[in-house]
Copies of this chain bind each other. A is one copy, B any other.
Amino acid sequence: MGRPISIEISTHKKKKPLENERGFGIHFSDHMFIMDYSEGQGWHDPRIIPYQPISLDPAAKVFHYGQTIFEGLKAYKTGDGRVLLFRPQKNMERLNRSNDRLGVPHIDEEIALEALKALIAVDQDWIPEESGHSLYIRPYVIATQPALGVDASTDYKFMIIMSPVGNYYPEGVNPVKIYVENEYVRAVRGGIGEAKTAGNYAASLKAQEIAKEKGYSQVLWLDGVHRKYVEEVGSMNVFFKINGTVYTPALSGSILNGITRSSIIQLLQEWNVPVEERVISIEELFAAAKSGELEEAFGTGTAAVISPIGELNWRDEKAVIGGGVTGEISSKLYVTLTGIQRGLVPDPFGWMVEVEI
């Protein structure tokens, strides 16, 4: 690749968390990847170094104007000791789409993927082997130019950090209760909702906190224009099975183009389960819940894979879905996707990429 990755091995190995201590994104592996960008020089100096604090000028643009994007994916260890990644090229493609929206210079997707694999190889003993556990990988870019003018940064860092994780939701694959958000809005068409960037998550924290206080796991986001059409659930895409057909909100510009989302659509098509991407109103969902046609609902994302929804609360009206138990399609999708990811079931789409270790 012309730009070999330099590797500095840590002399101090950290203590690894036990299975029940893992949580999500709390513990980090022994090493990290960094590559710098500066105007004129482009991306340069790709390196794996011991995991350590980074030093930034207090005026670095990331602190002030949020010019930052990220990705999330997982490495899985199979029973026979292989290390697998789930569609990592898709993450790198989206990384660059997010970069476009935020005015961040493109990153060579092959170099990013090579960096990711090299880092995993160095820290391979950090990949958990227990079912449902994995090594969560967080590639991200931050703007580092120390200047307060409101324009795109001249300098950036692309970094990758990794964290051994348990199940994202302590509830596991049991259905969660979701609060339909009427006041706060996550994103709107023309905004940055489609990009995986910090601002969307910052915008979601307050509503999420209020929902938690009310006893709900996540918020269901409605569109910013009409406050009527379903967009996402928490930081996941969302699916509804109504009268035998599975629906998910069409990509409108304010919805994240989830890799788990598109994989689920492919799986359902493969299984000949009717699946449609279209606008879905909250009234329609509640009407379907009342008539008994809303059979299943679930969120999808890298962290949780599938998170069944057992109850929706919209303006204090409650809709119980599928009797509050995990539905058949939700279960089958969870078992199949996690099975493919861990090399337990065939991978008909060639999704998994093996990391040489």
Contacts and interface: CB of A to CB of B under 8 A. Distances in A.
A148 B24 contact: yes
Contacts of A197: 66, 199, 202
Contacts of A54: 55-56, 58
Contacts of A203: 191-192, 199
Contacts of A96: none
Contacts of A103: 205-206, 209
Contact of A25 (B53, B59, B187, B192): B59
Interface stretch (A79-87, A134-142, A313-321, A322-330): A134-142
A185 B185 CA distance: 13
B201 A200 contact: no
Contacts of A55: 53-55
A201 B161 contact: no
Contacts of A68: 63-64, 66, 202
Given A63-B142, A68-B202, 9 more contacts: A23-B149, A62-B62, A63-B198, A64-B198, A65-B198, A67-B201, A67-B205, A136-B148, A198-B202
26 contacts: A23-B149, A25-B149, A28-B58, A28-B59, A53-B58, A58-B159, A59-B161, A63-B68, A63-B140, A64-B198, A65-B205, A66-B197, A102-B205, A103-B205, A103-B206, A150-B205, A150-B208, A150-B235, A151-B209, A185-B188, A186-B191, A188-B191, A192-B199, A197-B202, A199-B200, A199-B203
